Amino acid sequence: MVAGICSTDDQVVTPLPVILSHEAAGIVESAGEGVTTVKPGDKVIPLLIPHNYCLKNDVSNPRGTLRFTCRVKSIHHFVGISSFSQYAVGDENAVAKIDAASPLEKVCLIGCEFSTGYGSAVKVAKVTPGSTCAVFGLGGVGLSVVMGCKSAGVARIIAMDINKDKFAKAKNYKKPILVVLKEMTDGGVDFSFEVIGRLDTMMASLLYCHETCGTSVILGVPPDSQNLSMNPMLLLTGRTWKGAIFGGFKSKESVPRLVADFMAKTFSLDALITNVLPFEKINEGFDLLHSGKR
Ligand SMILES: NC(=O)c1ccc[n+]([C@@H]2O[C@H](COP(=O)([O-])OP(=O)(O)OC[C@H]3O[C@@H](n4cnc5c(N)ncnc54)[C@H](O)[C@@H]3O)[C@@H](O)[C@H]2O)c1
Ligand SMILES: *[C@@H]1O[C@H](CO)[C@@H](O)[C@H](O)[C@H]1NC(C)=O
């Protein structure tokens, strides 16, 4: 199994012990009775949102049922995936078979960050050619939003982050960012994306999309049990406010298709891969995440 470190793994709060990770690719070791869509040896990506979300899902109960034990002690799993582990057990509905030639260490990103960002642009916001977009936060997910905007022919992408290592060319403004943005765009952007997971930037992202025709999408996962209060006038003038998990993709059919698009070089994942580490160095991976170097 190959896994990516997504910042959602880092935001998870107790109960412990838990095996984290939900962005992965691996090879089927064995299949249970009655399983028809995968067989031993197949390459697969575990699905964050099982295909039939309405029937069966672990999102509202991310630590769910117990399927791991260590020296007779039960260990919680995470959204039914728990890929920081050599082996994992998953429901047939929650894995998708992918191209046998696909490089697992790259396509694992299709299991979460890439698809979330890319789909939020092309499928959720449905960004239009020639439009202007703003992306708040340039981690793996935010960069994937940028890739989706680019592929859809967006004319201008304004990307914001507080980590200056994220930019080859960036400006540091003295004025408040919302004032700068309104001046830059004649009243606001057509599409804005919050890809950080902070309530203040969720509000900024909404405010910054155009008041009569803008669409703002929340991708960031907010801090546990915090609520946002907002003035409904912001929506009455015509803004659209949306949110999505996994870029709005139906996973079992979309994941293999995205892998096929990757294999056909429709997009590259290289820009999203900053380090490849062996499993024993997992804590170094988290240190890199915390220092903003991944
Ligand atoms: N909706 C979904 O299905 C889904 C899936 C995956 C991740 N997420 C969430 O998306 C968010 C982003 O994930 P990621 O893996 O890209 O995270 P990341 O930590 O790699 O990136 C976040 C970026 O935001 C920047 N940032 C932090 N505070 C900021 C501020 N005040 N202003 C501007 N920039 C700021 C950081 O410097 C960093 O570059 C997280 O909240 C994550 O939980 C949601
Ligand atoms: C936040 O919103 C939830 C869902 O509507 C509600 O149950 C909860 O009481 C709210 N919490 C606070 C602190 O307002």
Q: How far apart are CA 27 and CA 98, in angstroms?
A: 10
Q: Is 59 in the pocket of ligand 1 (CB under 6 A)?
A: no
The protein residue with its alpha carbon nearest to ligand 1, atom 11, reads 220
pLDDT confidence bin for 159, thresholds 50/70/90: very high
Cα–ligand 2 centroid distance for 226 (angstroms): 8
- Helix 177-185 with 199-208: angle, nearest 10 deg: 20
pLDDT digits (tens, 9 = 90+) for 216-252: 999 999 988 899 999 999 999 999 999 999 999 988 8
Q: How confident is the model at residue 63 (pLDDT cuts 50, 70, 90)?
A: very low
Given this model, what pLDDT does residue 50 score?
Answer: 67
Ligand 1 touching residue 120 (CB < 6 A): no
How far apart CA 65 and CA 46 sit, in angstroms, is 17
Q: Measured from the CA of 120, which atom of ligand 1 is nearest?
A: 1
The model's pTM is 0.92
Bond before 103 cis per omega within 30 degrees: no
What pLDDT, on the 0 to 100 scale, is given for residue 138?
A: 93
By C-alpha distance, which of 255, 220, 216 is closest to 125? 216
| Higher-scoring residue by pLDDT: 6, 214 | 214
β partners of residue 43: 27
**Beta carbons of 4 and 136 less than 8 angstroms apart:** no
Q: Count CB-CB contacts under 10 A for residue 63.
A: 19
Six-digit token pair at 14? 């107790």
The yes-or-no verdict on residue 65 having pLDDT over 70 is no
Q: What pLDDT is attached to residue 127?
A: 98
Task: Look at residue 273 and tell me whether its pLDDT is greater than 50.
Answer: yes
Residue 149 clears pLDDT 70, i.e. is over it:
yes
Per the model's pLDDT, the better-predicted residue between 11 and 260 turns out to be 260
* All residues at 6 or more sequence positions from 266 whose CB lies less than 8 Å from its CB, including other chains: 151
User: Ligand 2: distance of its center to the CA of 47 in Å?
Assistant: 29
Q: How many CA atoms lie within 13 A of 154 on its CB side?
A: 24
Give yes or no for residue 170 having a pLDDT over 90: no
Q: Say if CB 125 and CB 217 are below 8 A apart.
A: yes
| SS3 at position 76 | strand
Instruction: State the average pLDDT over residues 267-282.
Output: 94
Give dist(CA 33, CA 117) in Å, integer.
Answer: 36
Measured CA to CA, the distance from residue 49 to residue 211 in angstroms comes to 32
Domains by residue range for the chain, with CATH: 2-111+250-291 (3.90.180.10), 114-247 (3.40.50.720)
CA of 262 to the centre of ligand 2 (A): 41
Task: Among 43-47, 51-55, 83-87, name the most confident range.
Answer: 43-47
Q: Distance between CA 211 and CA 189 in Å, rounded?
A: 9
Kindly report, residue by residue over 96-123, the tens digit of the pLDDT. 999 999 999 999 999 999 999 999 999 9
pLDDT band at 59 (very low <50, low <70, confident <90, very high): low
What is the whole-number distance in angstroms between the Cα of residue 53 and the centre of ligand 1?
24
> Per the structure block, which two tokens stand in for 172?
């540091």
pLDDT at 2: 94
pLDDT surpasses 80 at 67 = no
In tens, the pLDDT along 187-220 reads 899 999 999 999 999 999 999 999 999 999 999 9
Ligand nearest to the CA of 222: 1
Q: Which ligand is nearest to the CA of 229?
A: 2
The confidence band for 53, taking pLDDT boundaries of 50, 70 and 90, is low
Q: Give the span between the Cα atoms of 204 and 232, in whole angstroms.
A: 15
Output the average pLDDT for the chain: 89
pLDDT reported for residue 214: 97
In the block, residue with structure tokens 């007779």: 72
pLDDT surpassing 70 at residue 64: no
Going by pLDDT thresholds of 50, 70 and 90, the confidence category of residue 16 is confident
The finding on whether 162 has its CB within 6 A of some atom of ligand 1 is yes
Which helix H or strand E contains 204, and what residues bound it? helix 199-208
Q: Which two tokens stand for residue 49?
A: 């949102």
DSSP string computed for 176-216: -HHHHHHHHHTS-BSEEEE-S--HHHHHHHHHHB-TTT-EE
- Alpha-carbon distance 239 to 33, whole Å? 50
